[in-house]
Amino acid sequence: MNKIKYLLISFSFFTLHAQAQEADSLLKALDSGGVATTVDAAFKSTHVVLSHSSETQKKHDLDLRIRHHFGDIGGRFGSAHTLYGLDVASDLFIGLDYGVSDRFTVAVGRSKQDELYNFSGKYRLLRQKTNESMPINMTLFGQMGWVAREPLSDSEFAKYSNRFSYFFQSIISRKLSSRLSLQVMPALLMRRAQEDTRDPENLFSVGFAGRMKITKRLSFIADYTVVNGLSRPKNLTQAYYNPLGVGLEIETGGHIFSLNFMNSEYIVENNFIPNTRKSWSKGGVRFGFTISRNFTLFKSKNEDPDKKSKIY
Amino acid sequence: MNSKTKILRLLVALLLLNLSANAQNFLSKNLRIGLFSSTPLEDIRAVSDNGSAALVVKTREIAIQLNVKTLEFDRKLMQEHFNENYIESDKYPYAKFKGVLDQPVDFSKDGDYAVTVTGVLSVHGVDKKRTIPGKVTISNGVVQISTEFKVACVDHDIKIPKLVFTKIAEFITIKAAGKLNPLK
């Protein structure tokens, strides 16, 4: 009798135990293959501070971007006489970035400096995956610059083609955690109009960038581009510096604001990579900001009623 | 009948139940799971066909799981904000419901059942005990399930900033439906 009781009790324990486990373990077995999803939003925006990020525009989204670099905070051109640079606009920029697809973005922009127009294409080649089958993001970026201003001397734009410059960059990034993303970007700039004949026409550069989230919508961002000392001789008549920018990025739905400090006077790669003449150590740092607003241009054509969103 | 035979009979019944139930599991890997948020300003919908479900007939246990990153929105920027700012899919990649059917269902015969399932809903890393209504349809050995219920964002610690309070509903409607095939 007792034996049977024990058997019964142990048996019912066994079945109870099996019950609690089974549906869960079945699900686990089912999901073991898993869906390989992409690791999105290594950066909130298509730009970090000065440089581009590996992000591209979403399909059919248009980004209006307004950027401003003020004057030197310190040094000869700064101090209270210019309200720490706020009286001066060393460069202004307005640009539009449009997502042809989720991977391909085209952009046009215009800077105050040199009346520079830029036309660019950005293609997202590789995307980081959650299952590590692809550990990095890789985006290719190409940009043409066209200097539209009057020449400063008769010889400056002797050939019209001297007004053009071409920038090619490969942007490699990895979202290390939901807070931290890092990026490295080797690049080549081809240009004609350089002030010093010893300054090479083709400039190599390597950029580094990072994003550290402070809260969900506020991040610390920074980028640094090494250009001097790579393919460029050190003893040029004009002293050039490597551009370094740091900033705070605030995201509110479709808007992104960033408040930046940088030594570079200029905004577009074709300008700030070769021509940064100010240094962080000599009061050449300046304040700047970016305002970006995203617009969805076309309604998506998907017919799935479960996916349709509607704005009243 | 003495108590000894009673116990023996119970034992045999349990054993039989166990044996017969072993074959009775139903699975799905492509449950359609969607969410719907409605305010006077904006309707937002998203859907995924990658929900998975497991049903154990013996115990009337059912578990449904969704990799939240597979939810697709009309607007990709909205999808990014959903993952980054609200559901935090990097930290909490799965939404899950695990429970037990409150009513008996005969899975061996064709039929329709309105049921409730009591269990735990985990979304955004927060577990909530819930009783969720649903429908179970059995035809030709295939089990069809469907459910619709509401989830309060605040219950799962999902904060909606004041700025978008008028665009995102406090209660999100969740729909799930699909076919579960017998596991062989």
A135 CA: distance to closest CA in chain B (Å) = 15
Out of A41, A252, A307, the one facing B47 most closely (by C-beta) is A307
Residues of A in contact with B29 (CB under 8 A): 30
B7: chain A residues, CB-CB within 8 Å = 4-5, 8
Which of B41, B57, B59 best tests the A interface by mutation, with the highest count of A CBs <10 A?
Answer: B59
Q: How much is the pLDDT for A195?
A: 76
Å between A269 CA and nearest CA of chain B: 26
Instruction: Output b/e per residue, A127-147; b: 16+ Cβ within 10 A.
Output: bbebeeeeebbbbebebebeb
CB atoms within 10 A of CB A309: 18
ipTM for the predicted complex: 0.81
Low-confidence ranges of chain A (pLDDT < 50): 16-20
A58 contacts B76? CB cut-off 8 A = yes
CA dihedral of residues B85, B88, B89, B95 (deg, nearest 10): -120
pLDDT at B156 over 90: yes
How much is the pLDDT for B24? Answer: 79
Residue B36 is predicted with a pLDDT of 95
B-chain residues within 8 Å CB-CB of A307? 45-47, 72-74
Instruction: State the nearest Cα–Cα gap between A220 and chain B, in angstroms.
Output: 16
Which residues in chain A have Cβ-Cβ distances shorter than 8 Å to B163?
Answer: 252-253
| Closest chain B residue by Cα to residue A31 | B52
Chain A hits for B32, Cβ within 8 Å:
306
Closest residue to B65, CB basis, from A27, A44, A253 = A27
The alpha-carbon gap from B176 to the nearest alpha carbon of chain A, in Å, equals: 11
Cβ–Cβ gap A306/B34 under 8 Å: yes
Contacts B63 to A, Cβ<8 Å: 23-24, 26-27
Averaged pLDDT of chain B: 88
B56, B66, B87, B98: best to mutate for the A interface, most A CBs within 10 A: B56
Single pTM value for the model: 0.83
DSSP structure string for B34-98: EEEEE-SSEEEEEEEEEEEEEEETTTTEEEEEEEGGG-EESSHHHHHHIIIIIS-TTT--EEEEE
Residues of A in contact with B98 (CB under 8 A): 23-24
Is residue B21 predicted with pLDDT exceeding 50?
no
Partners of B63 in the β-ladder: B54, B98
Does the beta-carbon distance from A58 to B46 stay under 8 Å? no
List the single residue in B46, B54, B80 with the smallest CB-CB distance to A41: B80
Mean pLDDT, to the nearest integer, of B28-54? 93
Pick B97 or A304 by higher pLDDT. Answer: B97
Q: Give yes or no for a contact between A233 and A198, defined as CB atoms under 8 angstroms apart.
A: yes
- Rounded percentage of chain B residues whose pLDDT exceeds 90: 70
Measured between CA atoms, the residue of chain B closest to residue A177 is B90
pLDDT tens digit string along B45-96? 999 999 999 999 988 999 999 999 999 998 889 999 999 999 999 899 999 9
- Cα separation, A152 vs B139, in Å, equals 83
Task: Give the gap in angstroms from C-alpha A47 to the nearest C-alpha of chain B.
Answer: 16
The single-letter DSSP state of residue A260 is E
A11: three-class secondary structure by DSSP: helix
Contacts of B2 in chain A (CB under 8 A): none
In chain B the first and final C-alpha atoms are separated, in Å, by: 40
Q: What's the pLDDT at B3?
A: 66
Find, in chain B, the residue whose alpha carbon is nearest to that of A218: B85
pLDDT confidence band for B128 (50 / 70 / 90): very high
Beta strands in A12-136 (DSSP E): 61-72, 89-99, 104-111, 116-126
Contact list, B73 vs chain A (CB under 8 Å): 307, 309
Q: Nearest-CA distance from A292 to chain B in Å?
A: 14
**Which neighbouring-strand residues pair with A116?**
A147
Residue of B nearest to A310 (CA): B43
B12 pLDDT tier (thresholds 50, 70, 90): low
Segment B136-160 shows an average pLDDT of 94
pLDDT single digits (tens) A3-32: 666 665 555 555 544 444 577 777 777 776
What pLDDT does residue B84 have?
A: 92
Count helices and strands (H / E) in chain B.
Answer: 2, 9
Kindly calculate the radius of gyration of chain A based on its CA atoms and give it in whole angstroms: 26
Count of beta carbons in the 10 Å neighbourhood of residue B176: 22
Give the residue among A162, A47, A65 at the shortest CA–CA distance from A109.
A65
